Amino acid sequence: MMQQQSKDPLHGKTLQVILEELLAQFGWDELDKRIRINCFHDNPSIQSSLKFLRKTPWARKKVEDLYIAYCVK
């Protein structure tokens, strides 16, 4: 019996992994241009961004959508 694979491109990806892959692809400056949120602009760090994104669903959705558009193959 074969296991069914999830069609969700975010399946198995933590928010930290998503953010790290986006940073590797774009860097803080480009992330700030693409998604205008202060945690990418004002003294950005992984930890402060994760804290903000975990409690702000609209911002997390924008990050996940950018990830799907540019990092999912």
Q: How do residues 29-65 score in pLDDT, each as one tens digit?
A: 999 999 999 999 999 999 999 999 999 999 999 999 9
pTM: 0.88
- Compare 39 and 6 and report the one with higher pLDDT: 39
Please tell me the predicted confidence (pLDDT) of residue 72. Answer: 79
Q: Which of 7, 6, 20, 4 is nearest to 71 (CA)?
A: 20
Most confident of 5-9, 54-58, 68-72: 54-58
Q: How high is the pLDDT of residue 4? A: 64
Six-digit token pair at 18?
Answer: 């998503």
